[in-house]
Chains A and B, each alone.
Chain A
Amino acid sequence: MTVNQISVFVENKSGALAQITSELSNAGVNMRALSIAETQDFGVLRFIADNDRKAAFVLSDAGYVLSVTPVLAVVIKDEPGSFARTLRILADAGIDVEYTYAFLTPRPGTACMIFRVPDNDAAEKVLTDAGVKLASKEEMA
């Protein structure tokens, strides 16, 4: 069970991010979570949208370079130590995390972690075996 993350190439110049997000808002796309990784010259905007297909088409029509990547959305308790426990499960199973970011969900007391791992199936198995809950695409919409 994965959710689709949209990653977009963003040149490091003023207004670039505003431009992308207004393309999305004009199309009525809502962002659930986002993170930005950057270098001196450019960045990669990664986000989870309520409608990933629409978001991808809107941005690619507008000329952006992007990719759609399945990532794991892990639901954790909004309390100290829950993120650490999830990471420990993955580490013990020898699964590397390429990157991760978090957001709070509308449901009180829960947070959601996005994980990018080399093998989604393997990670999903160790997490669910350990009783960790994964969020589905529908839950993001």
Chain B
Amino acid sequence: MPMIAPKRYYQPERETMPAEQLRELQSRLLVEQVRHVWDNVPYYRDLMEKKGVTPDDIHGIDDISKLPFLSKADLRDAYPYGLLAEPLEKCVRIHSTSGTTGRRVVAFYTQEDIDLWEDCCARAIVAAGGSAEDVCQVSYGYGLFTGGAGLDGGSHKVGCLTIPTSSGSTERQIMFLQDLGATILCCTPSYAAYLGETMKEKGMGPDDIPLKAGIFGAEAWTEEMRRDIENTMGIKAYDIYGLTELSGPGVSFECEAQSGMHINEDHFYAEIIDPNTGEVLPEGTKGELVFTSLDKKAFPMIRYRTRDICVLRREKCSCGRTFLKMAKPMGRSDDMLIVKGVNVFPSQIETVLLNMGYQANYLITVDRVNNSDTLDIDVEMTPEMFSDNLSVISKREKELVNALKGMLGIYARVHLVSPKSITRSEGKAVRVIDKRKLV
């Protein structure tokens, strides 16, 4: 068999584009994207008129700060069709967020939008060492969630043999990893950690599977988790980032350097702003991440406030890509808690609950007892988690406590409560009671 040097980039002309040329491309695309929403989306036109800006004011990427922001609340107001920029007959797909923190977001895609998104995912797979010779197991959920569809499409584009296991059925996942010799695994980092643990319990080690790389995203994770996963599975673990609003996974991805995620800047322009004032902050400063899509058709996003807090850095990367890098998001700007000196995001807790088969309905209580912070989480019992056998329930509860500890880095006491006993609200759910403030 002839040896072919593995491709380092999926689209080298884009991924290694010189900075100046990239800026020209972004400028040209932004002008077109703004014109596209102005002409086709009354909601955007209203926002722009309120800010006193028209497409004639936008000559290039430097003018982007003249444009109004788009928030999650706008997406809720405009649900479902209010931000649609193409006639429905040109759209071929929707995806949707889980809607656990309010009304769900429904995003629309034309065939071109899907192609662009799959290209982004293909770039991530190639950056993780993937090629047509690889077997790629996609264990993200398939369906409304973007994870499965995005990586599946990217895997096809790269030419990998794709195993669409979707999420769940851990036994079967491990069977395919072993029997079909998957070399790349795509799933959430907490699921990867769980797969690793299950393999360990079965007495399987890194040498029992040919897996070499994992592309893990859709939730916050830590460097400790990365090391654990890499060691138990004997792989390199790469981060991937994305938002349904922008397309899905693949907005940014990690390369061999594993030091931040390259943003696909030819499609998504990133800014960091002060979440309180909206002022654009210089590169290297921590703030809220804002994205503008540059060439989306059906569902363009102009200065969309992600609420993710992170840092952007443009530096020479050993991989040769010129795209700037974003640090792992430190969580959402509006709901971080500090417990025992550790940053705790409700979204992390939610992720663990969903992965372990519980509902995303929970109540966090933080208190201070004897000068020490305590973290208690009420979790609703589900039919899937229930058993007539108390020790089975207790075992599952313990697994949940361990998974939470792995994600948060601190111990949280779990209380199983009756289904639907935690108040649900239409808007942003009340998930945190911080009793420390009352002292």
Contact = CB atoms under 8 A, between A and B. Distances in A.
B300 to A, nearest CB: 43
B419 A64 contact: yes
B340 interface: no
A136 interface: no
B365 to A, nearest CB: 13
Interface stretch (B46-54, B188-196, B224-232, B387-395): B387-395
Interface in A39-59: 39, 41-42, 44, 46
Interface residues of A, number: 22
A9 interface: yes
Given A16-B418, A65-B419, A67-B387, 19 more contacts: A9-B416, A9-B418, A11-B417, A11-B418, A38-B390, A39-B390, A39-B394, A41-B415, A42-B381, A42-B416, A44-B390, A44-B393, A63-B418, A65-B383, A65-B418, A66-B383, A67-B386, A69-B388, A98-B389
A7 B388 CA distance: 5
25 contacts: A7-B387, A7-B388, A11-B416, A11-B421, A38-B390, A41-B415, A41-B417, A42-B417, A44-B389, A44-B393, A63-B418, A63-B419, A63-B420, A64-B418, A64-B419, A65-B381, A65-B382, A65-B386, A65-B418, A65-B419, A67-B386, A67-B387, A67-B388, A116-B388, A116-B389
A46 B393 CA distance: 14
Main secondary structure of the interface of A (DSSP, over half): strand
A50 to B, nearest CB: 19
Contacts of A46: 388
A42 B420 CA distance: 15
Query: Nearest 7 pairs between A and B by C-beta?
Result: A7-B388, A37-B390, A11-B418, A65-B386, A9-B381, A69-B388, A65-B381
Contacts of A38: 390
Interface string B368-391: 000000000000011100111110
